[in-house]
Structure formats: structure tokens, C-alpha cells
Structure 1
Amino acid sequence: MFQYDLPYYFAGLPFTSRQVPRKLAWLLARGEIRQVMRGVYVDVRVPDSPELRADALRLVVPQDAVVCGQAAAWLHGIETTALSPEPTIKPQWTFQPRPTVEALGLKVLTPAATAIELARHLHRPFALSAVDALLHTGKATLDELTTASAAYFAEDSTSQAADILRYADRRAASPGESSLRLRLIDAGFGVPEVQIPVSGPNGTYRMDVGYPKRAVDGRRLGLEYDSDLWHSGRRAEGRDEKRRGELELLGWHVISVRRTDVWGSYPALELAVGGFLCQHPRLPRRW
């Protein structure tokens, strides 16, 4: 019998650590189960899905409660833990009156209200990437978020959540791009344009973010977030170098940005952008 001909643990349904207290560490060490969310596990052969997430939440959320916070974002399909491959979602719920929708048999905070709560409580870069991601799915519009925000803060608020909504953009293609955009804003360079089309002889390129209206010596500044997953290795690096060379010929100065440039205290990114734009960045870095 092959390993994966064996029956699924708990018939493939999620289960809590209390159901296998003595065998939990052993099963995890053997790689036969994985954590779905904090305290809830499933057979590794079961793929992630909205139904699995709902079943996991049902194990721990009281029947009359409203799923909220990061757990609501998770159920809506919005990831808020961009830097960690491990599931760190905690089951969160409330009995307080909230605007809700039904999702797979659970009462869940509406996408718009979820975005507002994330904008209020998450660390700034995670807050922006989560709101960007929710807008990108089309489950809520910026107008809906603005309307929902009236219940939390005034239109002219200077709170973090109000800032996040001002900067949110549904065109952001990844959490890394969202964090990069926030770095540029916090450094005082202004809000960059997003997903900028650049026409060339071989087709149209798409620049992640940039300042096309602030040309210096006839060149415009573009920045591209190169993730470790898609931009590592000799072949990927060669492809990226060729692309940057073609964009240079089209009048663009392209700065390649990696995860270590966005996260950390060293201001190399801000200094590089400021050096091109002839502008002193606002330092020290805020996050």
C-alpha cells in the first residue's frame, strides 16, 4: 500500500489539538498533518479552500458569534501574513452588533467593515497590503470602504486607518508592491503611480510603481518589486536584466527592489530614489 493510499486523518475534516493531544507532535513531525489556523489541523493531502477555512472556524467560533478581524479577512480570501509561510491566523469573533454577511454558513463581518478593522489594527504595511488585496478581489470598492469608515472615524481624520484608505489601490498586484508603495509615501516622495503601462517596439511593459511625471534629464523613474519566489535564479535574473535594459532604452531609470530593501532599518531604497529625484527623503524609516 502506498503512503497516500492510507485513509485521511479524520476523513479529511479539520480537527483541534484537543482531539489528538498525545499524537499531535508526532503527526506534525511525520509531516502527515498541517496547521490550518492556530489550534486547528488537517491532513496534509487536503488542499486549502474556502470550505476548509469555514469548517476550521466552525470548530472554534460560537454559533451566534460574528467572525471578525484577520479571521474574517482569511475567510474572505485575503491573506494578511505576507512575511510568514506558517499559518498564524487566530480565530477571532465578536457578539457586538456589526455589519455582517453570511459566508458558507458563518456570520462574517462584511468585506468593507473587515477592511476598515484591518486598516485600524494591523501594522501599517500589512494594513495597506490587506486593503489593497481586498479591493483587488472586487469584493468591496473604495467607495464602499469610504462609506463604511464613517462609523469609525471622521472624513478628515489623521488616523492610520484614514491614511491607509487614502493610499489604497486595487491595482496593486502583490503585498510586496503595496509595502514598496508605502515606503515611498512615508519617505515623502508622494504617492507613486501604480501598474504604469510602457509602450515599446516589442509590446507593452507594466511598471509596478513609478513617477512618470517627474522626469530627470529626460528619464522617468520606475521601481519593480522582485519577489524571492519569481525573481531568483540565473534564468529569472537574466530575464529581469534584459527587461530593465529595454526599459532604459525607452527612457526609464528602473530600480529593482527586493524584500530586504523594503523591510529593515537601512535606508538604501529611500536614498536611491531620493538621489534620482534630487530630493532628500524623510528619515529615519518609520517601519
Structure 2
Amino acid sequence: MKAFLGSEAVAEGVVSRHRLGRYRRIYPDVYLPDDRPASSLRDRIDGAWLWSHRRGVIAGVAASARHGARWVDDDVVIEMLLCNGRPPSGVMTRNETFADDEVTVVRGIRVTTPARTAFDLGRHLPRGQALARMDALMRATPFAVERVRMLADRYPGARGLCQLRELLPLVDGGAASLKKSWLRLLLIDAGFPVPTTQIPVHINYHLFAMLDMGWEEFGVAAEYDGDQHRTDRREYVRGERRERKLPQLGWLKIKVIAEDRSDDVIARVYGALRSRGWRGTLTPRLHSRR
């Protein structure tokens, strides 16, 4: 059973007011069956929209998830375009202007279009998170960057436009996780050439590996190493065999883990590229903080 408005259910005779107490309330007047162990992201999105009496438009990270973007936790704040200054806990309302062509319907819920979702992500989130979330959205539902720029022109006074315009050229759906987006932005900000993502490595015309990011002309790659090896032995063994073979195929790979310091990562990548003939200089990018 999906989320429902208690007042509607009682008025329609679906449940009695007494029986309504057996259901679990997740927002004012919004209920779920009490036997569910926890509210899923879909439950919370549906419930937030019902709480708005179907007037709001789901936006931000929740909208990106509705469009298929991954790596969104169930407890993420549900953002909504709605004029309401007192949203319940777990919901954020934004009283912002939007046009009909910036709204679509996904599984029965009004949601910002991919372009409008990217427009909001790029403006409202901290810079690194903004790029990572736009990368994830692009990976799930490719959107036209030019369409996002058109929205920026449509709303010249909107907050966060400087950051959005700076990040749009860097959006890359090839980023395979939020942390990999973080690593790519770290390298770009340090002054390295923009790395290519999802670089295929072949052996005898057969795909052997897909590298996270790197510079193919120098045979240097950088990869963020997640926790898969801790939970999946088969993935760990496959990864180790891959690591041993890559140098034989001409690749020098820099592995990055969560505990690495940013300056150490930059130094290791710099040394690898210099050893392969790169003669550029590191000129850190200046970026908007507004």
C-alpha cells in the first residue's frame, strides 16, 4: 500500500477515523501501513507531495532520484517548489519561480525536469556536491547543458548562478560514483588537464578494463577505490588481476582511497604525469564562492 492522505481516506470511507490510528504517520495527514520497517525514499517523496495537497513540485536531489540518479539515501531532505514557510521535518520548500516547461510527471508525481533539476542542484548545493549530483543525474538521464544555460538566462537574478555556470562545462555522466566526481573535481581544481572518464582498455580487441578517469595520451589513470573488496571477494580478486595487468598494457594507475590527503593525491598524480612526459604546470582553478 502506498502513502495516502488520512483525511481523504476517511472522507471516502476507505478507513475509519479510529482505524487510521493503526497506520504510521510520516507527515501531517500522510500515512503508511504500520508494518513497514522504515520509510523508503519513494515513500517519502510520494508522502511529501501528498502533504502539499499535490500542489508542490519535487526538486533537487529527490527529483534527481526520481529521474533515476543513484547514490541517494532514503533519509535525504525532500526539496519541493512550493510557497509554504512551515514544512514538516524532512521536507524543504523553496518559494521559487518556475514555468510549465520545467515540470514533468514521473510515476504520477510532479517533478522538475532533468534540466530544471540540474539548474537547482548546481545553484543550491555546495560546489563539490553540486557537481557530483549533476554528474549522477547526467549518468541516469542525460540532459542538455544548453537547456540549463537557457534557464540561467531565464532567471538572471537567481541565487547561485555564478557557481552553476562555472560547473556546467565540467558535468560528466561518466563519473561512476559521488566520490569519483569528487576526485575528478580535485584534479581539475589543482590545474591538471580535464581527465577523460570511462577509458576503455582492450586486449586483442576485447574489453579488458574500464578506467575511472585519466589521460590516455600519457597512459596515466586515477581511480577512487571504494569498499567493494571488503564485501565482494570475487570483485576483489578480479580487481587484483586487473591491477597486475595494467602496467603491462602501458598504464600507470594512481589508486585513491578515502584516507588519502588531497595534497598527497595531487602530488602522486603530478609525479605520474611528469614521468610520462607531461610538461604542463599546475595552475589551480579559481572558482566562484557565491
**1:109–1:71 Cα change, 3 Å:** same
**2:203 pairs with 1:200:** yes
Superposition deviation, residue 269 in structure 1: 0.8
Aligned counterpart, 1:145: 148
Report how far residue 276 of structure 1 moved: 1.6
SS at match of 1:161: helix
Alignment partners' CA distance in 2, 1:14 and 1:281: 56
- Residue from 25, 35, 46 that aligns with 1:55: 46
Matching residue of 2:216: 212
CA distance in structure 2 between the aligned counterparts of 1:159 and 1:170, rounded to whole angstroms: 21
CA contact (8 A) 1:196 1:209 kept: yes
Q: Secondary structure at the match of 1:267?
A: helix
Question: Residues 116 and 194 (structure 1 numbering): CA distance in 2 closer, same or farther, change over 3 Å?
Answer: same
Find the counterpart in structure 2 of residue 72 from structure 1.
63
Structure 1: runs of 5 or more not aligned: 1-10, 17-32
| Residue aligned with 2:259, SS | helix
- 1:128 and 2:126 aligned: no
Q: What do the CA deviations read for 1:127-150 (whole angstroms, capped 9, x no partner)?
A: 112111111122523343333333
From 262, 265, 268, the equivalent of 1:269 is 265
Q: Which runs of 5+ in 2 are unaligned?
A: 7-23, 84-95, 275-279
Structure 1 SS opposite 2:69 = coil
| 2:246 partner letter | L
For the pair 1:97 / 2:97, whether they are aligned, the reply is yes
Rounded to whole Å, the distance in 1 between the matches of 2:68 and 2:4 is: 18
Shift, 1:206, TM fit: 1.1
Deviation per residue, 1:135-167 (Å, 9 max, x gap): 11225233433333332459xx98221122110
Superposed CA deviations along residues 211-241 of structure 1, whole A, max 9, x for unmatched, are 112x2xxxx111122211x233665444323
Shift of the 152–173 alpha-carbon distance from structure 1 to 2, 3 Å rule, reads farther
Any runs of at least 4 consecutive aligned residues in structure 1 with deviations exceeding 6 A, and if so which?
39-42
Classify 1:165/1:283 alpha carbon distance in 2 versus 1 (closer, same or farther; 3 Å): closer
Distance 1:60 1:203 in 2: 52
1:244 alignment partner in structure 2:
243
CA contact (8 A) 1:14 1:40 kept: yes
- The aligned counterpart of 1:27 is none
Structure 1 residue 196: deviation in Å? Answer: 0.8
Q: How far apart, CA to CA, are the structure 1 residues paired with 2:265 and 2:191?
A: 13
Contact 1:80-1:126 within 8 A present in 2 as well: no
Aligned to 2:255: 256
| CA distance in 2 between partners of 1:158 and 1:66 (Å) | 21
Where 2:174 maps in the other structure, the secondary structure is coil
Q: Take 1:244 and 1:40, find their aligned partners in 2: how far apart are those partners?
A: 51
Identity %: 30
Kindly provide the CA deviation profile for residues 231-265 of structure 1, in whole angstroms up to 9, marking residues without a partner as x: 3366544432321221100111011122333xxx5
The RMSD of aligned alpha carbons is 3.8
Report the count of equivalent residues: 244
TM-score in terms of structure 1 length: 0.69
SS in 1 for 2:115: helix
Partner secondary structure for residue 216 of structure 2 = strand
| Structure-2 change in CA distance of 1:88 and 1:251 (3 Å) | same
